[in-house]
Structure 1
């Protein structure tokens, strides 16, 4: 009531590669070692969950085998959780084969030349000898659909080969690119990152061909709508997406690669992702966002409701950062509250719960 925040719960969890909400629970997800090993002591990879109950602060953990999750021998990660139609939807990202997977499902190796001969890579792209470090299926998108109250059940897997896997990427962070419209239709957006898997003299990869696009799973359905497909590289500025968020109704805010697909493929983490646009999903149209400062930098999560997206913007001219209000129907951004701080990155809305 006095506008001041007080600490209520303290909790710990594993590193996060994805997160979301499920009812009153906050769910964090990461991929890591399980307690399962084979006779050669190869460790199976697992999806590691942490559930925090926002009503009483209780916490529980969960583990799910990430190996062969899709039945193709590959380990997986998840990108985003969408709660809609009394179900949970998550984008499943295939990530190649571990030593454990290759030994247990050798028939799943499509080409022995994909198996690494030596250690290599760096940072989040580091790999060891004897693995397949990137997916053999870059031009497929998978969505797991859960109907229960946790991830112990066997999900329904929706699959399409019209777009590549659905997530934004920044090093080891997997950004959510699946969202539900107000009518329950779930839209699945792909940047087309399969094209960035390029073979080198010492490492062969399967290079994807699919452009950045979107498909949908209609409310109540458990498979992709065969009549819906959008190629973002043929509409608007013809640029691939980096991230996206739901605003309201069937409007979505897109963050795009400003210099196009070639910059996405070759630019890596230094690629220019400063372009914003509004996508109306039913009409399959894109409108550029106007009115933002030319030197503005944005990042983190915007917040959308009632036809508007609110985004935190920091400028480099010495002025205080501010929130901007973007009209989904016109694409016009208007400056709102200014914040006395060096920078702001995220905007959200808190709900007051009476005692």
Structure 2
């Protein structure tokens, strides 16, 4: 299965930096140096209404108004996840439960126009988690029965350096952590050393134990990390599972564990960059500072700041909503609820948050207003209303896309 870049955008996504000589005459022996590339950027908005999804671009998310009426690229599908690896492209995926997942990828051409990269694609085994790893976007799902009758995890590696070619790798997960039980892997986080990390959900296993598996680009298990200070590092809503692992700017990985019906408090552990074990001296009790609430998703914002999405009830069930948000500083081990967001009883929908420019953008739709992007300052844990999207019922996802503008001689 291949996804091919359109010829018109091939140079934008695959070209390296230009090299040029720095001399004033032809006899210079100085080494060529890398020429600075002048990149410009626009913001991507995936707005939804009854007709499907509208892919829009705007100069800023901090203020203003836009609309889906006569604007953007219309797609009849409604995508459930948006993923990216850097600022060159954004990928929309449609979960479709047990059916094959479908996806699209967009970037900006040299004129700054939003352009689809290749044609839409399909992943037969579907996905439940997506994340960036090296030059890939990795989509993975567990509980897949393979041709030999074994059950395990399927990985789709979407190679952004090779015309977005997609390769499939498989991992048998029975007895993965040595207890004879089936496992699912949740989340994809780049470890920065040619490997990536994923949290382990042990089916019918001890929820008062956290397992993290480290894998290479062939989906081969390199290490298994375990700790009993937090529970499983995943959030859930019905059949969906959400990653609770994320890196800071230095490449340290923070693992956030929920009670998930167990006895442990919701908290965080640290895997130092390059380490194959948890930092035994680091433990962050978040739940006590968060008034007893458990969390469902995590996003790195900037520096040591992370955004946490919390369930709205103290004892969340299978379908409990999660529209409360807080900021944690993992260095000072402090927590603050975000102020300035709509009240939870007025929120109809929340899209995927997106962190950029040292803030985090949260798209929220309320009962009495058009979908609005809220801009959250992590230092003050305060939100202000940003761009409003009219003629839409929700905002599914956001991204920042960069491009190298055309030059004229």
The interval holding the TM-score normalised by the smaller chain is: 0.7 to 0.9
Partners of 2:129 and 2:140 within 8 A in 1:
yes
SS of residue matched to 1:242: strand
Partners of 2:289 and 2:335 within 8 A in 1:
yes
Please give the per-residue CA displacement for 1:93-148, whole angstroms capped at 9, x wherever unaligned: 111xxxxxxxxxxxxxxxxxxxxxxxxxxxxxxxxxxxxxx22x2111111123x4
Query: What does residue range 224-263 of structure 1 map to in structure 2 within 5 Å?
Result: 224-260=278-314, 263=315
Distance in 2 (CA, whole Å) between partners of 1:182 and 1:343 is 31
- Greater share of residues in strand: 2
**Unmatched tracts of structure 2, length 5 or more:** 1-110
Distance in 1 (CA, whole Å) between partners of 2:308 and 2:258 is 11
TM-score (norm 1): 0.77
Partners of 1:254 and 1:278 within 8 A in 2:
yes
Q: Does 1:283 align with 2:332?
A: yes
SS of residue matched to 1:293: coil
Q: Does 1:51 align with 2:163?
A: no
Counterpart position of 2:147: 35
Partners of 1:17 and 1:172 within 8 A in 2:
no
Please, which of 285, 305, 314 is the counterpart of residue 365 of structure 2?
Answer: 314
Aligned pair count reads 289
Structure ranking higher on relative contact order (CA contacts 8 Å, 6+ apart):
2
Pair 1:224–1:53, CA change in 2 (3 A): same
Pair 1:328–1:141, CA change in 2 (3 A): same
Please, which of 87, 107, 122 is the counterpart of residue 12 of structure 1?
Answer: 122
**Unmatched tracts of structure 1, length 5 or more:** 37-42, 96-133, 196-207
Partners of 1:274 and 1:297 within 8 A in 2:
no
RMSD: 1.9
Following superposition, the deviation at residue 85 of structure 1 comes to 2.7
Query: What does residue range 1-355 of structure 1 map to in structure 2 within 5 Å?
Result: 1-13=111-123, 14-31=125-142, 32-36=144-148, 43-55=149-161, 56-86=163-193, 87-95=195-203, 134-135=204-205, 137-146=206-215, 148-152=216-220, 154-193=221-260, 195=261, 208-260=262-314, 263-264=315-316, 267-269=317-319, 271-294=320-343, 295-317=346-368, 319-340=369-390, 341-352=392-403
Pair 1:69–1:5, CA change in 2 (3 A): same
Partners of 2:351 and 2:364 within 8 A in 1:
no
Partners of 2:295 and 2:310 within 8 A in 1:
yes
Please give the per-residue CA displacement for 1:184-242, whole angstroms capped at 9, x wherever unaligned: 2111011211x1xxxxxxxxxxxx32221211111221111111112223213232112
SS of residue matched to 2:400: coil
Following superposition, the deviation at residue 281 of structure 1 comes to 0.6
Larger radius of gyration: 2
Distance in 2 (CA, whole Å) between partners of 1:89 and 1:52 is 17
